[in-house]
Amino acid sequence: MSSSLSETGHGAASREGSGPPARVVPRWRRSLRPYLLIVPALLLTGGILYPFGLGLYYTLFDFAASKPQPDMVGLENYRRIFSESSFWDSARVTVLYAVGAAAVETVLGVGVALLLHRSTLVGRVLEKILILPLMIAPVIAAIMWKLMLQPSVGVVNHLLKPFGMGGVQWTDTPAGALLSSIAVDVWVYTPFVAILALAGLRSLPTSPFEAAAVDGAGWWFTFRKLTLPMLWPYVLVAVIFRFMDSLKVFDIIYALTEGGPGDSTVVLQIRAYLEAIRFQRYSFGISYMIVLWAVVYLVTMVLVRYLGKIQNRAAEVPK
Amino acid sequence: MDMRVHDRRRFLALTAAASATPLLSACGAGFGGGESKKGGGSAADDVTGSFDWKKAKGKTVKALLNKHPYTDALIADLKSFTEKTGIKVEYDVFPEDNYFDKLTVDLSSGRASYDIFMLGAYMVWQYGPPGWLEDLGPWMSNSSATGSEWDQGDFFPNLLQADQWSLEAGAPLGQGGQYALPWGWETNVVAYNTEVFKKLGLKPAETFDELREISGVIKRKAPGAGFDGMYGVAVRGSRSWATIHPGFMTMYSRFGLKDFTVEGGKVKPAMNTPEAVAFTQDWAEMVKKGGPPSWTSYTWYQCSSDLGAKKAGMLFDADTAAYFQAVKGASPAAGKIAFHPGPKGPGGSLATNMWIWSLGMNAKSKNKHAAWLFLQWATGKEHLRKAAIEGNHIDPVRKSISQDAAYKDKMKGLEGFIETFETVVDQTKIQFTPQEQFFDATTSWAASLQEIYGGKNAKSVLNGLAGDLASKVG
């Protein structure tokens, strides 16, 4: 009731004052204001949740082009997914790809950031060039690399020819295809990790490093005991982004190998695409997407929790 | 106090309820997509009176087209259609990589974004059962809607039958509804580089053993004979349904092999019979010894380009893939490419698989009469003759055009083209068993072929494939 009193008081004071009378805002409008402010966020949330909910609902049916009037099958699509060896094969390839790509990108990205952290002219120029792969759409990068890795006319084998390695069939074997896909991912996204790590490096306090220098600490000791622990939260953010993205990869692999040879690079996203779009088993394809979403969600939760711990530990480093 | 908290909660609950309403209504509204055509009447019955090209004057039809030389010839002649009918044509052209995804998504959404579109005969097996395709049979048989000059009897019968199906898995083509019209097609034969054949003293293969032998010989000897980097035979190898249907399925069929058998109405995989296993193993060996490097990424585009760039001694694929390299000035190998029907099967069979670019009508179209007039014109003698002679719309679907003097005159410069076409035309048909899981089956088959090429045991790979497909198509 206090709000009601204050409203009356405010109105009375205005009337008694010399200035123009203040507009009386009805109580219902004032009460509505906070809700109006969150309407855009609600719409956005609804825009995300609606298709998600609809997708989830569809997974309970056997909806397919061949069955436009589907029957409810409960959790049968999920049971089928987990009982098929193709799912486990795809899950294995997806994890291999994500771990491989995120690990290499992290090591290379941090390395590049450490090199660029020294403020030299070359470093400043390279810093600008570094982001170029990030400005290329991954699918374009994959097509570009597909041409470059072509055994007979590709530039990579041409460059390797003097070393007696001109006949490498990069994407013709299962291991080669997976490694080539990871290499393209690394080429595209290492700059992303490097930029985040570089930003982290530049935001580190200088005093601990100065103290270490005065104490005569070596580069490796300083890196291990100061740089890395304080930089780790930034690196982990990059790892979370890259790992999440790599689990969901589609474009690079599809453009490079279409999932082949055999099923050797059919990651979960490609399996979902094939099921839903190519083979038009919509419910089954969406179920794959839901499973992938759950995996990404769980992995991210674990990593985010770990990030919190790391941040706390980094805060304990004397500054 | 809590009154406000309570209000906020109530507001959120109401908002959530409001958000859920469309969700629930959407769910209750069903799943969109198609509706069954079985038993429904045809819009063709609404067209009465005498036939008149101008009957749908003022209408606009929207077409979805794939980027292709046939399409270029069609677009170049669209003005004639508009002048003849008063119907405007709007179109979107997409490259083949995305074309079918775009078409599939559009049709499955249940919208009528496009009245007409290009499709292959295999797509009829996927788009037909959900009721996305208009049955053109009633339009063809309605003399008020179809002019006498359209002349249905002029089509090669195997082509017209390829787009006709009863929508029952395993049932032969040529029965049931006419779900598309043949517009342009491709037969799968061997095209070869005459220069390298002459230099190495080779003759086109008459048997599969000879083809395998010649492929290996070219790969071993051609680079030393002045053909730098040349290999034997270009065939597709990517992990796609499109790998199976040209050269592979043609040779497979010439051996009398089947993809599926139909027993008591049930479709059973047959790609793992001892004969099929032996053939598949031999095919993979041929590619290893005489095929392109990086074969597992090869699509028709790479195969065709390699023939044109003198990187491939032979091409076992669509005749058009070679034609576009063979015409004067098109490639370094132009003028040095000849055509041959390809190896015969053990019994002398020249059974050949084909691809048909067909035109279909959206069952949800609001402009069916105008769309039918367009289909009639695009598959009619007048446009197809012009497209064949002035454009690159080769492999005519009409008998009259294949015998047209001007067409023959145009094609006579290509060594062996006419003879090859005439040799295989009657034996060319869809060699696959019609069934809805065609794309899953052939994509998985291509993946299996890649695994065999990679060194896995053909028998166990194909047994695995057959076992996997049995539960999907049976």
Q: Are residues B64 and B119 in the same domain?
A: yes
Inter-chain touch A258–B15, beta carbons under 8 Å: no
The number of CA neighbours under 13 Å toward the Cβ of A307 is: 15
Q: Nearest by CB to A63, which of B19, B31, B440?
A: B31
d(CA A101, CA A113): 18
The encoded tokens of residue B117 equal 């579109």
Q: Going from the N-terminus, what domains does chain A have, and what CATH number goes with each?
A: 1-14+22-37 (no CATH), 85-316 (1.10.3720.10)
* B364 Cβ under 8 Å from any chain A Cβ: no
Chain length of chain A: 319
Asked if residue B339 has pLDDT above 60, the reply is yes
Inter-chain touch B19–A260, beta carbons under 8 Å: no
Asked if residue A7 has pLDDT above 60, the reply is no
Query: How confident is the model at residue B13, as a pLDDT?
Result: 44
* A260 Cβ under 8 Å from any chain B Cβ: yes
Tell me which residues of chain B, numbers 10 to 69, contact chain A at a CB-CB cutoff of 8 Å.
11, 15, 19-20, 22-23, 26-27, 30-31, 33-36
The encoded tokens of residue B349 equal 């069979």
Q: Which residue has the tokens 């204050």?
A: A6
Nearest CA distance, A42 vs chain B (angstrom): 8
Q: pLDDT confidence of B24, banded at 50, 70, 90?
A: very low
Nearest CA distance, B274 vs chain A (angstrom): 21
Decide if A276 contacts B33 (C-beta within 8 A): no
d(CA B292, CA B337): 18
Query: How confident is the model at residue A152, as a pLDDT?
Result: 80
ipTM exceeding 0.95, yes/no:
no
* B311 Cβ under 8 Å from any chain A Cβ: yes
Q: Give the percent of chain B with pLDDT over 90.
A: 85
Q: Are residues B256 and B345 in the same domain?
A: yes
Asked if residue B143 has pLDDT above 60, the reply is yes
Q: Give the percent of chain A with pLDDT over 90.
A: 69
Chain length of chain B: 474
Q: Please report whether residue B283 resides in a domain.
A: yes
d(CA B419, CA B283): 26
Query: How confident is the model at residue A318, as a pLDDT?
Result: 56
* A90 Cβ under 8 Å from any chain B Cβ: no
Q: Please report whether residue B422 resides in a domain.
A: yes
Taking one residue from A and the other from B, the number of pairs with CB-CB distance under 8 angstroms is 123
Nearest CA distance, A151 vs chain B (angstrom): 6
Q: What are phi and psi of A313, to 5 degrees?
A: -65, -40
Tell me which residues of chain A, numbers 194 to 253, contact chain B at a CB-CB cutoff of 8 Å.
none
Q: Which helix (H) or strand (E) holds B164?
A: strand B164-165
User: Which of these three, B427, B442, B463, is where a domain ends?
Assistant: B427
Q: Which helix (H) or strand (E) holds B290?
A: helix B274-290
Query: How confident is the model at residue B2, as a pLDDT?
Result: 41
* A167 Cβ under 8 Å from any chain B Cβ: yes
Query: How confident is the model at residue A30, as a pLDDT?
Result: 86
Q: Are residues B273 and B414 in the same domain?
A: no
Asked if residue B93 has pLDDT above 80, the reply is yes
d(CA B115, CA B121): 18
Q: For B286-299, what is each residue's pLDDT tens digit?
A: 999 999 988 999 99
Q: Please report whether residue B392 resides in a domain.
A: yes
The DSSP output letter for B246 is I
Query: How confident is the model at residue A44, as a pLDDT?
Result: 92
Q: pLDDT confidence of B96, banded at 50, 70, 90?
A: confident
- Please give the average per-residue pLDDT across A77-84, as a whole number: 96
Q: Are residues B225 and B297 in the same domain?
A: yes
* Residue closest to A244 by CA, chosen among A285, A295, A195: A295
The count of domains in chain B is 2
Q: pLDDT confidence of B41, banded at 50, 70, 90?
A: confident
Residue of A30, A50, A172 for testing the chain B interface, max B β-carbons within 10 Å: A172
For residue B358, the cross-strand partners are B119, B182
Q: Which residue has the tokens 């063809």?
A: B140
* B95 Cβ under 8 Å from any chain A Cβ: no
User: How much is the mean pLDDT over chain A?
Assistant: 89
Inter-chain touch B131–A68, beta carbons under 8 Å: yes
Query: How confident is the model at residue A40, as a pLDDT?
Result: 93
**With b meaning 16 or more CB within 10 Å and e meaning fewer, what string describes A12-49?**
eeeeeeeeeeeeeeeeeeeeeeeeeeeeeebeeebeeb
- Most confident residue range from B214-218, B227-231, B435-439: B214-218
Q: Please report whether residue B41 resides in a domain.
A: no
3-state secondary structure at position B119: strand
Q: For A96-127, what is each residue's pLDDT tens digit?
A: 999 999 999 999 999 999 998 887 888 888 88
Residues 6 or more apart whose Cβ sits within 8 Å of residue A18: none
Q: What are phi and psi of B119, to 5 degrees?
A: -155, 165
pTM of the model: 0.85
Q: Are residues B279 and B331 in the same domain?
A: yes
Q: pLDDT confidence of A313, banded at 50, 70, 90?
A: confident
Query: How confident is the model at residue A310, as a pLDDT?
Result: 82
∠ at Cα B226 (B220, B230), nearest 5°?
Answer: 45
- Please give the average per-residue pLDDT across A207-232, as a whole number: 91
- Please give the average per-residue pLDDT across B163-170, as a whole number: 95
Residue of B297, B456, B460 for testing the chain A interface, max A β-carbons within 10 Å: B297
Q: What are phi and psi of A110, to 5 degrees?
A: -65, -40
Q: Are residues B387 and B408 in the same domain?
A: yes
* A46 Cβ under 8 Å from any chain B Cβ: yes
Inter-chain touch B450–A171, beta carbons under 8 Å: no
Q: Are residues B313 and B409 in the same domain?
A: no
Q: For residue B445, give the CATH number of its domain.
A: 3.40.190.10
Query: How confident is the model at residue B36, as a pLDDT?
Result: 42
3-state secondary structure at position B356: strand
Inter-chain touch B294–A151, beta carbons under 8 Å: yes
Q: Which residue has the tokens 């206090």?
A: A2
Q: What are the angstrom distances between the C-alpha of A76 and each of A59, A72, A278, B380, B473?
A: 9, 9, 21, 49, 18
User: How much is the mean pLDDT over chain B?
Assistant: 91
Asked if residue B320 has pLDDT above 60, the reply is yes
Q: For B394-444, what is each residue's pLDDT tens digit?
A: 889 999 999 999 999 999 989 999 999 999 999 999 999 999 999 999 999
**With b meaning 16 or more CB within 10 Å and e meaning fewer, what string describes B425-452?**
bebbbbbbbbbbbbbbbbbbbbbbbbbb
Query: How confident is the model at residue B352, as a pLDDT?
Result: 97
Inter-chain touch B229–A152, beta carbons under 8 Å: yes
Asked if residue A23 has pLDDT above 80, the reply is no
Q: For B441-463, what is each residue's pLDDT tens digit?
A: 999 999 999 999 999 999 999 99
Q: Please give the full DSSP string across chain A, using - where no structure is assigned.
A: -HHHHHHHHHHHHHHHSSSPPPPPPPHHHHHHHHHHHTHHHHHHHHHHHHHHHHHHHHTTB--BTTBSS--B-TTHHHHHHHH-HHHHHHHHHHHHHHHHHHHHHHHHHHHHHHHHHS--HHHHHHHHHHTGGGGS-HHHHHHHHHHHT-TTT-HHHHHHGGGT-TT--TTSSHHHHHHHHHHHHHHHHHHHHHHHHHHHHHHS-SHHHHHHHHTT--HHHHIIIIIHHHHHHHHHHHHHHHHHHHHT--HHHHHHHTT-STTTT--HHHHHHIIIIIS--HHHHHHHHHHHHHHHHHHHHHHHHHHHHHHHHHHHS--
Asked if residue B215 has pLDDT above 90, the reply is yes
Q: What are phi and psi of B373, to 5 degrees?
A: -65, -35
Q: Are residues B243 and B386 in the same domain?
A: no
3-state secondary structure at position B265: coil
Q: pLDDT confidence of B32, banded at 50, 70, 90?
A: low
Asked if residue B148 has pLDDT above 90, the reply is yes
Q: Please report whether residue B35 resides in a domain.
A: no
Domain that holds residue B241: 188-353+431-473
Q: For B351-395, what is each residue's pLDDT tens digit?
A: 999 999 999 999 999 999 999 999 999 999 999 999 999 999 988
Q: Which residue of B has its CA nearest to A53?
A: B23
Residues of B in contact with A63 (CB under 8 A): 31
Query: How confident is the model at residue A317, as a pLDDT?
Result: 59
The encoded tokens of residue B55 equal 């009957």
Q: Are residues B419 and B453 in the same domain?
A: no
Decide if B224 contacts B421 (C-beta within 8 A): no
* A66 Cβ under 8 Å from any chain B Cβ: yes
- Please give the average per-residue pLDDT across B187-194, as a whole number: 97
3-state secondary structure at position B67: coil
* Residue closest to A133 by CA, chosen among A118, A112, A151, A158: A112
Query: How confident is the model at residue A120, as a pLDDT?
Result: 82
Nearest CA distance, B379 vs chain A (angstrom): 28
- The sign of the CA dihedral A274, A278, A281, A282 is positive
Q: Are residues B84 and B192 in the same domain?
A: no
Asked if residue B38 has pLDDT above 70, the reply is no
3-state secondary structure at position B332: coil
Q: Please report whether residue B48 resides in a domain.
A: no
- Type of residue numbered A169: Q
d(CA B85, CA B80): 9
Q: Are residues B156 and B226 in the same domain?
A: no
Q: Please report whether residue B33 resides in a domain.
A: no
Q: Please report whether residue B17 resides in a domain.
A: no
Cis peptide before B274 (omega within 30 of 0): no
Q: Are residues B467 and B382 in the same domain?
A: no
